[in-house]
């Protein structure tokens, strides 16, 4: 992950992909409940490559997509991808929450668990966001494969959800009018 240090604070350089609609955004568009897999918040890719794939595969309605670049303050953002301790905490949290939810329902989904944590727990814990690696394929567009050596998915497809917009220091257009190309 690309980082920048500003006055002892560490910032992750991250990319937010949207449809190109001709209008420049002032801030990221939050994902909503039905497709926010880590809960409601601003979703970023930490690799430009995946930001482009997301544009080609999932932001296709106008035929073009755009990518915004942000500096996101890492303070308070759980790094469940590269920090063993933080990953293990994340894992325990998911398991505890899942167990808790089963007192009401037997058919608890992972999405229920993430949504519950996002609605009821994370903000009270002052957690500002989560970094986690997504599935190695885009479930909505199954054709994209993120590996040159199948079936070895050696490249992490890392996403970051930011719950607290105060952590987003900058938000600037990086690439506009990128053409969507079907694979």
Partner 1 sequence: MSNSKLDLKKLEARFDEILESFDKEKIDAWFRFNEEQLRNEAILKGKYLKTFSIDMEKSHLVNDYKASVEEIEEEYEWLKMAS
Q: Which residues bind partner 1 (CB under 8 A)?
A: 3, 10, 19, 21, 23, 25, 29, 32-35, 58-59, 61, 74-79, 82-83, 85-86, 89, 92-93, 96-97, 100-101, 103-105, 112, 115-116, 119-121, 124-125, 127, 140
In this complex, which beta carbon is closest to partner 1, that of residue 33 or of residue 179?
33
The sign of the torsion formed by the CA atoms of 128, 132, 135, 136 equals: positive
E strand or H helix that includes residue 53: helix 48-58
In this complex, which beta carbon is closest to partner 1, that of residue 7 or of residue 23?
23
In this complex, which beta carbon is closest to partner 1, that of residue 125 or of residue 135?
125
Cα separation, 34 vs 115, in Å, equals 9
In this complex, which beta carbon is closest to partner 1, that of residue 147 or of residue 169?
169
Cα separation, 45 vs 36, in Å, equals 14
Least distance to partner 1, CB of residue 145, Å: 20
Least distance to partner 1, CB of residue 97, Å: 7
| DSSP type of residue 29 | P
| Surface-to-core class of residue 12, CB atoms within 10 Å of its CB (0-12 exposed, 13-18 middle, 19+ buried) | buried
Tokens of residue 161, six digits: 């959800």
Least distance to partner 1, CB of residue 128, Å: 8
In this complex, which beta carbon is closest to partner 1, that of residue 147 or of residue 176?
176
Least distance to partner 1, CB of residue 68, Å: 14
Tokens of residue 146, six digits: 């993120």
Cα separation, 46 vs 94, in Å, equals 23
């Amino acid at each position: 992950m690309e980082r920048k240090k500003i006055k002892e604070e560490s910032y992750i350089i991250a990319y937010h992909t949207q449809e190109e609609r001709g209008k420049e955004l002032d801030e990221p568009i939050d994902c909503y409940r039905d497709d926010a897999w880590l809960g409601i918040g601003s979703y970023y890719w930490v690799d430009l490559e995946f930001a482009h794939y997301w544009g080609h595969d999932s932001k296709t309605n106008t035929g073009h997509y755009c990518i915004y670049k942000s500096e996101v303050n890492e303070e308070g953002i759980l790094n469940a991808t590269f920090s063993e301790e933080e990953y293990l905490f994340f894992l325990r949290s998911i398991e505890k929450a899942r167990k808790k939810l089963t007192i009401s329902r037997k058919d608890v989904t992972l999405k229920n668990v993430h949504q519950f944590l996002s609605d009821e727990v994370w903000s009270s814990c002052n957690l500002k966001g989560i970094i986690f690696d997504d599935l190695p394929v885009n479930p909505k567009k199954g054709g994209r494969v993120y590996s040159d050596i199948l079936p070895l998915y050696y490249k992490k497809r890392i996403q970051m959800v930011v719950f607290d917009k105060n952590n987003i220091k900058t938000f600037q257009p990086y690439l506009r009018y990128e053409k969507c190309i079907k694979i």
